[in-house]
Amino acid sequence: MDTNPAADATNKRDPKARVLIQYRKEDFSLYLLSLAAIFVVCFLAWRALRSPPAELGKSDFPILFSAWEWGHRGAFIALSGSLVYLVICFVVRRGAARDPSFTRTVLRGGASYLSYFGALCWGARRRTLRLLAFWCVALAIERVWVTRAPGSFWTRQLPWQPIVVAQFLIPTAFRTVMLVAHLARRDHVRGVLEQSPMKRWIKGMSMWNHVVQAYVTGVICHLCLITPCVVFYAATRPTYVREAALLFGYIVWNQCERRLRFGAEMPIFFNNFYKDHANCHVSRFAFTIVHGHHHDTIPSGLAAVADSAPLESTARTLWWGWFLDSILIINFQFVWLVFRGMHNHQYIPGVFPYSRYVIAICTHHVLHHYGSLYPLGFVSRFTRDGPFYGHANDLSHGYEADNAKIRWYIDLMEKYEGLPPHARERILAGPTVLLGEAVDSVTDPIRTYSAGGA
Ligand SMILES: [Zn+2]
Ligand SMILES: [Zn+2]
């Protein structure tokens, strides 16, 4: 079991807390299990995208039709090859050892994770039930429309497949540019990481492979994020009128939320996010199967999607109900989410897409990727000049915005990219708005870990 290597600076109240930050060679069988589960999730998305949209008729658009078919076959080969590559990377870096507690961890930890997932769904019930109600109303409108005006434009199937494929390919193209940039500057990447707490961690595998592994993790993670949506769309076959009703519902709800200031759902998300994240760093099952991949790469935007690992992303799409919302809106939001995730995880300064965004939004999440447990939540601005948020639980555990680790990172940024005026003071100033509640020592997952979570 790894202990928090940055406990001195960021974990003052429970410096001996046993938490999971990196995989060990004994985790190999659990890691394999996680990749098998990721394969199943990605396979479901792949199957759902098997048929091109009806508009892409074989006789009308033969080139596009065969491009779709070839792309679909190629995606399967790429997916299978990528997962095998991740297995090889795991073994090359740390070897593989037998795990005598494998069955107990899977059974006990799996049951515990399911109950935790149930708690996350329950925590987000106000939003998911609202989305479900909107979706049922949209379906009812569609049924009425189909009986009143059968065969009209509005009752035709929405070609959701190109929307999803574009949503996936646009950030992936950007990620590929990042891959080329990181490969071209891999000596620089190594040079930066050798000055960091990851110095020992990067040994054992070439930087070329570290970079490619981060890229592969990011692409697979993106696919896992959207799988519940893709499967849901394929199963429920949305029409234009249903999508129009969902779009209308989204706009009305958001305007009401903004102007009348009622029903704000984001605090629910932040609370769930924190609980989920804390659990993932203390439960061996949750870490090795669900969250560990997010920490198993160099700290680069290459591996980032929505601040989560592959299966964690799938779970989040499920408990947050993204699949129930308007297809156009959600897929647009996914593009934004993934671009933002890639930019605010670029913790290796001096390589594209550079770390200026990290500095602009003053995020302290960088420490979490350089081996520190805290902050587990967002200590960050979400926009350049917005309020500075922090999670109450991080602060109650003694996290201080002005600490040695974050000063080290600011110095690193200054060295390789320079700092805008007052950036240092802005980052070290710390949160002005608190999210969530500080949990007491009885329910605190970090403390109760010693009680024996699997
Ligand atoms: Zn984490
Ligand atoms: Zn992260």
Q: What size, in residues, is the chain?
A: 454
Read off the pLDDT of residues 282-321 as tens digits, 9 standing for 90 and up: 899 999 999 999 999 999 999 999 889 999 999 999 999 9
* Cα-to-centroid distance, 368 and ligand 2 (Å): 7
Q: How confident is the model at residue 349 (pLDDT cuts 50, 70, 90)?
A: very high
Is it the case that residue 181 has pLDDT exceeding 70?
A: yes
Is it the case that residue 43 has pLDDT exceeding 90?
A: yes
Nearest ligand by distance to the CA of 279: 1
Least confident segment among 151-165, 259-273, 290-304, 392-406: 259-273
* Cα-to-centroid distance, 234 and ligand 2 (Å): 31
Q: How confident is the model at residue 9 (pLDDT cuts 50, 70, 90)?
A: very low
* Cα-to-centroid distance, 350 and ligand 2 (Å): 19
* pLDDT (0 to 100) of residue 444: 59
CA dist 132 → 238, 319, 326 (Å): 15, 12, 12
Is it the case that residue 4 has pLDDT exceeding 90?
A: no
* pLDDT (0 to 100) of residue 398: 84
* Cα-to-centroid distance, 132 and ligand 2 (Å): 30
* Cα-to-centroid distance, 279 and ligand 1 (Å): 10
Least confident segment among 9-18, 62-71, 107-116, 257-266: 9-18
- Name the token pair of 282: 């203390």
Nearest ligand by distance to the CA of 365: 2
More confident call, 2 vs 284: 284
* Cα-to-centroid distance, 130 and ligand 2 (Å): 29
SS (H, E, C) the chain: CCECCCHHHHCCCCCCCECCCCCCHHHHHHHHHHHHHHHHHHHHHHHHCCCCCCCCCCCCCHHHHHHHHHHHHHHHHHHHHHHHHHHHHHHHHHCCCCCCCHHHHHHHHHHHHHHHHHHHHHHCHHHHHHHHHHHHHHHHHHHHHHHHCCCCHHHCECCHHHHHHHHHHHHHHHHHHHHHHHHHCHHHHHHHHCCCCCCCCCCCCCHHHHHHHHHHHHHHHHHHHHHHHHHHHHHHCCEHHHHHHHHHHHHHHHHHHHHCCCCCCHHHHHHHHHHHHHHHCCCHHHHHHHHHHHHCCCCCHHHCCCCCCHHHHHHHHHHCCHHHCCHHHHHHHHHHHHHHHHHCCCCCCCCCCCCHHHHHCCCCHHHHHCCCCCCCCCCEECCCCCCEEEEHHHHHCCCCCCCHHHHHHHHHHHHHCCCCCCHHHHHHHCCCEEECCCCCCCCCHHHHHHHCCC
* Cα-to-centroid distance, 165 and ligand 1 (Å): 28
Nearest ligand by distance to the CA of 291: 1
* Cα-to-centroid distance, 313 and ligand 1 (Å): 13
Nearest ligand by distance to the CA of 306: 2
More confident call, 210 vs 13: 210
Is it the case that residue 442 has pLDDT exceeding 60?
A: no
More confident call, 61 vs 329: 329
More confident call, 440 vs 127: 127
Q: How confident is the model at residue 384 (pLDDT cuts 50, 70, 90)?
A: confident
More confident call, 171 vs 438: 171
| CB contact at 8 A, 196 and 300 | no
Q: What are phi and psi of 439, to 5 degrees?
A: -90, 150
* Cα-to-centroid distance, 61 and ligand 1 (Å): 46
More confident call, 53 vs 179: 179
* pLDDT (0 to 100) of residue 339: 97
Is it the case that residue 436 has pLDDT exceeding 80?
A: no
Q: How confident is the model at residue 451 (pLDDT cuts 50, 70, 90)?
A: very low
Read off the pLDDT of residues 149-170 as tens digits, 9 standing for 90 and up: 888 889 999 999 999 999 999 9
Distance separating alpha carbons of residues 170 and 98, to the nearest angstrom: 41
* Cα-to-centroid distance, 375 and ligand 1 (Å): 9
* Cα-to-centroid distance, 304 and ligand 1 (Å): 12
* Cα-to-centroid distance, 334 and ligand 2 (Å): 16
* pLDDT (0 to 100) of residue 258: 79
* pLDDT (0 to 100) of residue 1: 35
* Cα-to-centroid distance, 70 and ligand 2 (Å): 34
* pLDDT (0 to 100) of residue 62: 81
Residue 330, C-beta contacts closer than 8 angstroms, at least 6 positions apart: 229, 322, 323
* Cα-to-centroid distance, 149 and ligand 2 (Å): 49
* Cα-to-centroid distance, 306 and ligand 2 (Å): 8
Residue 237 exposure: Cα atoms within 13 Å on the Cβ side:
9
Nearest ligand by distance to the CA of 278: 1
Q: With pLDDT > 70 as the criterion, what percentage of the chain qualifies?
A: 91
Beta strands at 388-391 and 433-435: parallel, antiparallel or unpaired: parallel
* pLDDT (0 to 100) of residue 208: 97
Average predicted confidence (pLDDT) for the chain: 89
* pLDDT (0 to 100) of residue 15: 45
Domain-wise residue ranges, the chain:
20-350
- Name the token pair of 445: 């997952």
